[in-house]
Amino acid sequence: MTIKSLSLKRKKTAPHGLSEPTDLSAYRRIVVLTEGHTNPQKAKTAIGLLRFRGGDVVALLDSQTTHQSAAVALAHDVDVPIVTSLADVSQPDALFVGISPAGGRLPPAMQGAIYQAAQQGLDVVSGLHDFLVDDPALVDIASRTGARLIDVRRNGFRETAKHASFREGCLRVLTVGHDCSVGKMFAALEVERELLRRGADAKFLATGQTGIMIAGNGVPIDCVVSDFINGAVENWTLANQQHDYLLIEGQGSVTHPAYSAVTVGLLHGCAPDGLIFCYEAGRTTTKGLDHVPLKPLTDLRNLYEALAQARNECEVIGVAINGRRLGPDEAAQEQQRVSAELGLPACDVYRDGPGVLANAVVALREQVVD
């Protein structure tokens, strides 16, 4: 079944209008484009899609890699084949651009595959700052074939925040961290899954391109006009407050030289009751900015809590350790060390599962709501 047979297929958006609200969760045979970028450092979106929508991904597309398996190329435990041409995939229903580089530019090497997909009438989904709909030649192709060009980051949020009150029974937990790419989306999704497994009414709120591609919708927070960033998050949170637990995907870091604005807008927009602090053990300098040392965890925790409390009673309730640089014994030591240092429950979600953090979230709910 291709996507064309689903109700998701709607009237094409005018190239210069804003996209209609889009639910990306209906695609079932996704090809993920990682052309020239099929490695664990660059294919962050592809890895997220494999982990959390592995059943909907049928292949990675990369004509330049020597690998034939995503598991090998990305050191990942979910596997799909890597194909060198779209023609090698049977009945795909969308092409998702599988990278999320800083600055959000579309690598020129990816253009050919995107054009080819649109020529076949295949929907193309991209989370880059370079919008598909800003390429007139591509728009022209899509208008002839009926392919939809979906720019996940494109948005029309234009409301300022109003310091709204949220439903009392809606507990909001945001993941924050000491840097980019330490596992904030991962921790939020895993805690959501664990709470759902326990029968709770939990929802993950996506705020970044990969999270939106996984959840199907969300706020592309880093592409909102800055006057409306707090408001976009506030309104999205209000729109989901019927749930008992919101697990909100964090972004950046409050001290990140480039992304602190995004981080703070998100923090004040969703007015969390609790924070899960995420960090990568052994990382000492800022991702992509090696001349910028990371701050001590305690300083960061204090800064997050002071900022959050300007809006709502809030504290850090647990720590998600990213232990990918550590061996098993080191990871166990790190867990004990950081838990003692911060006086908080801590776990490596990838190794240990999210149970400890889900417990902390449930305990917070008992304290705040019940």
Q: Which stretch binds a copy of itself (CB under 8 A): 65-73, 112-120, 210-218, 298-306?
A: 298-306
**Quick one: which of 51, 67, 283, 295 contacts a copy of itself (CB under 8 A)?**
295
Give me the amino acid identity at 301: R
* Token code pair at residue 366: 């008992």
- Nearest in space to 177 (alpha carbons), one of 227, 248, 243, 237: 248
What are the structure tokens assigned to 122, written together? 């295949």
Q: Which is nearer to a copy of itself, 27 or 279 (CB)?
A: 279
Number of residues that bind a copy of itself (CB under 8 A): 46
Smallest distance from a copy of itself to CB 68, Å: 35
Strand duo 57-61 + 30-33: pairing: parallel
Strand arrangement, sheet containing 82-83? 82-83, 57-61, 30-33, 94-97, 123-126, 149-151
What 3-state DSSP class applies to 304? Answer: helix
129 touching a copy of itself, by CB under 8 A: yes
Q: Residues 6 or more apart from 228 whose CB is under 8 A from it? A: 157, 158, 159, 160
Which of 263, 251, 253 minimizes the C-alpha distance to 187?
251
Q: Which is nearer to a copy of itself, 298 or 333 (CB)?
A: 298
Minimum distance of a copy of itself from residue 361's CB (angstroms): 24
Interacting positions 304-343 with a copy of itself (CB under 8 A): 306-307, 310-311
Pick the binder of a copy of itself from 13, 255, 322, 335 (CB under 8 A). Answer: 255
Residue 11 phi/psi, 5-degree rounding, is -55, 135
List, in order, residues 6 or more apart from 326 with CB less than 8 Å away.
Answer: 281, 282, 334
Does the protein bind a copy of itself through residue 345 (CB under 8 A)?
no
Q: Give me the amino acid identity at 320.
A: A
Which region among 119-127, 143-151, 256-264, 348-356 touches a copy of itself (by CB under 8 A)? 256-264
Residue nearer to a copy of itself on the CB measure, 65 or 230: 230
> Which residues between 205 and 244 bind a copy of itself (CB under 8 A)?
221-227, 229-231, 234
Q: Is 126 in the site for a copy of itself (CB under 8 A)?
A: no
What is the radius of gyration, based on Cα positions, of the chain?
Answer: 20
User: What is the distance between the alpha carbons of residues 255 and 195, in angstroms, rounded to a whole number?
Assistant: 30
Smaller CB distance to a copy of itself: residue 22 or 230?
A: 230
Among 303, 362, 368, 369, binds a copy of itself (CB under 8 A): 303
Short-list 127, 117, 126, CA closest to 147: 117
CB of 272 to a copy of itself, least distance (A): 14
- Under rule CB under 8 A, which residues in 133-162 are in contact with a copy of itself? 158-162
Which one among 6, 14, 75, 102 touches a copy of itself, defined by CB under 8 A? Answer: 102
Contact between 52 and a copy of itself by CB under 8 A: the answer reads no
Taking CB under 8 A as the rule, does residue 289 contact a copy of itself? yes
Q: Distance between CA atoms of 115 and 108, rounded to whole angstroms?
A: 12
Nearer of residues 10 and 291 to a copy of itself, judged by Cβ: 291
Residue in 91, 92, 130 with CA at minimum distance from that of residue 111: 130
Choose between 75 and 164: whose C-beta lies nearer to a copy of itself: 164
Which residue of 264, 326, 346, 361 would you call a contact of a copy of itself, by CB under 8 A?
264
Judged by CB, which is closer to a copy of itself: 160, or 333?
160
User: Within 6-156, where are the H helices?
Assistant: 44-53, 70-74, 111-119, 136-145
For binding to a copy of itself (CB under 8 A), which residues are involved? 16, 102-104, 129, 158-163, 221-227, 229-231, 234, 254-255, 257-266, 268, 286, 289, 291-292, 295, 302-303, 306-307, 310-311
